[in-house]
Structure 1
Amino acid sequence: MLDSAFNARLGDFGLARALESNKTSYVELEGVTGTMGYIAPECFHTGKATRESDIYGFGATILETVCGRRPKCDIAGFQFLVDWVWKLHREGHIIDAVDPRLGGNFNEADAEQLLRLGLMCSHPTPNKRPKTDVILQILSRSVPPPDVPPFKPAFVMPAAEPSTESDSSRLHSAGFVSSYTASTSGG
């Protein structure tokens, strides 16, 4: 995260690795903790910190740095910076998101690459976010910037496998697994 003078501060992302290996839940830390705009959407549904949710927070930091605005802000009718940047991207004006205080004194190709990377790291679906090694390759220019869809994709809750046999039995007895299996197998 960045403070009011844009100095880097250790914050939200990294929480997944900081917790004990058997405790990856925000809920165990007395509710979802963090700053709005940095918290991945799935965290509100699962209560779990993951590497993917860390990437989401990193994406928010990229956008905050390039745009010179907080991830949760009121800009052009949008409550979150990521939504505003996605709109500019869709309209072909993503470069307009760059902090105006730079007075146009920046490399447009680099700024566009960072904005696109920030959008992909902030993808609503966790498994669509780039992995850390890919992010490093993009930043080092070893691979091209990511393709970003013109419209912000809808949040899709990742499917979860039952974690224990009792969970699986409970789902079967409630008819969830069998009705899902029948609907996907055409039966």
Structure 2
Amino acid sequence: MHLFTVTDEPLSWILRSKILAGVGSALHYLHYEYDQKVVHRDIKASNIMLDSNFNARLGDFGLARALDHEKTSYTEAEGVLGTIGYIAPECFLTGKATQHSDIYAFGALLIEVVSGQRPGTKVNGFQFMVDYVWSLYREGRILDAVDKRLADDYDSEEAQRFLLLGLACSHPIANERPKTHAIVQMLAGSMAVPQVPPFKPAFMWPAMMPIDDLSQATSIYKTPLSISQYETRGLEPVASGKLLKYSGYTDRSMV
């Protein structure tokens, strides 16, 4: 994985920016431009494939599911699948993957690529990197989260925009997260990042919830699972179902 390779030359800022733009475009394609709506369900750095020119392709569709156009979510009968740190909070209650939960994972990825730290990194007493970045933002020093290996060799305005977008995508309330068409424009700098509150909002369960959702949440979580069990489930092979095929891979390598 290029991002975490221990060398004298870290992945440059120009390449990080290029990779994030490519993944943002790929996610928009899955959500709105493919014949069916697709929820990837496992967006993370190790699932981003790079060609010889560092063009990014979103790979590993083992957990992905295509949805009928009238549907907005996919329920996994075995519980929450994915990787801790990238899983949206609502997924632990509903067991459902949605476009919103993909956006949450992309937010974790944004922060990961800018900071050079995995989402589950514990720093300054915080359990997850996103919480640490939120604290830095509140203190007016969000750029302290930028990968120290880059020194001053990065675009500070772009880095701040990416980190703020990462926080916006990581909003605990699903409906508050930006959509992919806006994300693509924000990455390019042609649209302003939405206002991010200085304190991370609390996760709130919607006041009105369909009975089916309530029964689903109850049935899935009668026996709570530990984080280690979720991690184990996230790594288990799953039947792939319908997969999307991408062309143009050459000299594949991971971010």
Task: Bin the TM-score by the shorter chain.
Answer: 0.7 to 0.9
Alignment CA distance shift 1:75-1:10 (3 Å): farther
* Counterpart code for 1:135: I
Out of 149, 153, 159, which is 1:105 matched to?
Answer: 153
> Does residue 1:25 correspond to 2:68, yes or no?
no
The CA deviation at 1:140 is 1.9
3-state DSSP of counterpart to 2:175: helix
CA distance in structure 1 between the aligned counterparts of 2:114 and 2:194, rounded to whole angstroms: 17
3-state DSSP of counterpart to 2:127: strand
Out of 85, 95, 119, which is 2:143 matched to?
Answer: 95
> Does residue 1:38 correspond to 2:86, yes or no?
yes
Gaps of 5+ in 2: 1-43, 51-55, 216-255
Contact 1:40 1:56 in 2 (8 A): yes
> Does residue 1:124 correspond to 2:167, yes or no?
no
CA distance in structure 2 between the aligned counterparts of 1:117 and 1:91, rounded to whole angstroms: 17
- Give the equivalent residue in structure 1 for 2:59: 10
* Counterpart code for 2:173: T
> Does residue 1:81 correspond to 2:124, yes or no?
no
Out of 129, 144, 159, which is 2:192 matched to?
Answer: 144
Contact 1:72 1:79 in 2 (8 A): yes
* Counterpart code for 1:162: P
Q: TM-score, normalization: structure 1?
A: 0.77
> Does residue 1:51 correspond to 2:113, yes or no?
no
CA distance in structure 2 between the aligned counterparts of 1:116 and 1:148, rounded to whole angstroms: 7
3-state DSSP of counterpart to 1:49: strand
The CA deviation at 1:162 is 2.8
* Counterpart code for 1:24: Y
Q: CA RMSD in A?
A: 2.6
How many residue pairs get matched? 160
CA distance in structure 2 between the aligned counterparts of 1:10 and 1:160, rounded to whole angstroms: 36
More strand by share: 2
Higher relative contact order (Cα pairs below 8 Å, separated by 6+ residues): 2
> Does residue 1:155 correspond to 2:206, yes or no?
no
* Counterpart code for 1:83: D
The CA deviation at 1:19 is 4.5
Gaps of 5+ in 1: 168-187
CA distance in structure 1 between the aligned counterparts of 2:123 and 2:209, rounded to whole angstroms: 39
Q: TM-score, normalization: structure 2?
A: 0.57
Contact 1:56 1:123 in 2 (8 A): yes
